[in-house]
Amino acid sequence: MNNLLLHKSELISNREIIISGSKSETNRLFLLQALYPNLKIENASNSDDSEVMKNALQAVGTSNEINVHHAGTAMRFLTAYFAIQEGAEVVLSGSSRMHQRPIKILVDALKQLGCDISYLKEEGFPPLQIIGRKIPGNKVLIDANVSSQYITSLMLIGASLPNGLEIALKGTVTSIPYIKMTLSVLQALGIKASFHDNIIKIPFTEKLTKDTFTVESDWSSASYFYSFIALSKIDTQITLGYFKQHSLQGDAILAEIYQKFGVQTICEDQKMILTKIENPSIKHIKLHLNDAPDIAQTIIVTCLGLGVTCDLTGLHTLKIKETDRLQALKNELTKFGAKVSISADAIQLMNSITFQNDRIAIETYQDHRMAMAFAPLVLKQSLEIKNADVVSKSYVHFWNDIQHCLKD
């Protein structure tokens, strides 16, 4: 993997970037397409995680060893998918980090429904041995406070089960917008799914009534451009495509959050024009990000760049993502002289710093978002991004797009 040297630079105003489709929407749709082959998907994500998902679904019947590498959505969504494929015998594995990311809650839920899944190494973690079968159950109770991906996984198979599926959520529900995204995708295709009072109901659906879905571009990827604009001079502008008026992605909350950092968002013809209109008047910001965990890294780095202290809460899921993101953030922010405190579910940036002339090396911990979140600091200081091609997990052309926007 390459290390990338980035010299301190400035953003060129008025560039346009087309961001690839949302990986979250795409991976839901790939699975639904395997269950309903008439479904056509437009603007699918070209991310590694989506490629992994597509290849795994195409491998059915030809290979019974499937490795999803770092893709959490693929690991979780495919577990339910293979469990209901009669005759399938699959070993589902991933990277060494994937084998540390818990999956017991989903496996237990699928077992309640009658699925045959066993652990090949440590109990509660991948790799899994899955023997697909027809499942009799249609009601399941699941803990909802660890990962919404377990719930989405069940929702995605629900409509193809002979008696549909009723999912009761227990505990505080985490990452809710991702559950709502799944619900909206199902509904948009004509599946009459509902979600009220922590009960999700998905009726058996033989045929989709709508068979084309256009994926919106990825809002989590857009977050890095919000950060670049926030750290730029007044009047700097960038245009991002293709975005919808009513997004299914919870990370669309970025437009509101970055207004506080002086970034204006204007939507025109499926494009968003981001403009730095003022320097933020706030000196401190407190945000509860349980609904948008993937943008926490972007936001705290923006805060460091702007000299705004922050208190970000609702982040207990960050410890079980591509890396322990709270610890990784603390390690890297500290290199700039930041004082950072972390707890089980929160991170605090307690001081503002002065950027220096030397170059700082950023470790990325096999986490695409560590690499991308720190990139905007190149407007303040030269950086070396370690293992920079880690970004392809969600954003294959990230560095090309960034070079296109930076002065030489």
Ligand X SMILES: O=C(O)C1=C[C@@H](OP(=O)(O)O)[C@@H](O)[C@H](O)C1
**Region near ligand X per CB under 6 A, out of 119-127, 141-149, 304-312, 375-383:** 141-149
Which residues are 157's β-sheet partners? none
CA distances from 23 to 49, 149, 155, 341, 395 (A): 7, 13, 17, 31, 9
153 binds ligand X (CB under 6 A): no
SS3 of residue 60 by DSSP: coil
- Tokens, residue 45: 């994500």
We find the least distance from the C-beta atom of residue 73 to ligand PEP, in angstroms, to be: 4
Applying CB under 6 A, among 175, 221, 232, 298 the residue interacting with ligand X is 175
Which of left, alpha, beta for 49 (phi over 0: left; psi -120 to 50: alpha)?
Answer: alpha
Q: Using CB under 6 A as the criterion, what x/- string covers residues 277-296 for binding ligand X? A: ----------------xx--
**Region near ligand PEP per CB under 6 A, out of 70-78, 191-199, 327-335, 342-350:** 70-78
178 binds ligand X (CB under 6 A): yes
We find the least distance from the C-beta atom of residue 73 to ligand X, in angstroms, to be: 5
Closest CA to 404 of 16, 5, 8, 45: 16
Applying CB under 6 A, among 28, 276, 369, 380 the residue interacting with ligand PEP is 369
Closest CA to 307 of 406, 229, 230, 375: 230
We find the least distance from the C-beta atom of residue 351 to ligand X, in angstroms, to be: 28
We find the least distance from the C-beta atom of residue 70 to ligand PEP, in angstroms, to be: 6
How far is residue 285 CA from its own chain's centroid?
23
71 binds ligand PEP (CB under 6 A): yes
- Tokens, residue 268: 């025109």
- Tokens, residue 127: 């790799």
Closest CA to 304 of 269, 352, 265, 253: 352
**Region near ligand X per CB under 6 A, out of 90-98, 131-139, 142-150, 348-356:** 142-150
225 binds ligand X (CB under 6 A): no
Are 149 and 79 in contact by the 8 Å Cβ rule? The answer is no
Label residue 88 exposed, middle or buried (CB < 10 Å: 0-12, 13-18, 19+): middle
Task: Please indicate whether residue 358 is annotated as part of the active site.
Answer: no
Are 80 and 153 in contact by the 8 Å Cβ rule? The answer is yes
From ligand PEP, ligand X, none, interface partner of 325 (C-beta below 5 to 8 A by class): none
From ligand X, ligand PEP, none, interface partner of 317 (C-beta below 5 to 8 A by class): ligand X
Binding to ligand X (CB under 6 A) within 69-128 occurs at 73
Q: What is the DSSP letter of 216?
A: P
20 binds ligand PEP (CB under 6 A): no
Q: Is 380 or 389 the residue whose CB approaches ligand PEP more closely?
A: 389
Contact footprint for ligand PEP (CB under 6 A)? 70-73, 294, 321-322, 369, 394
Contact footprint for ligand X (CB under 6 A)? 24, 73, 147-149, 152, 174-175, 178, 293-294, 317
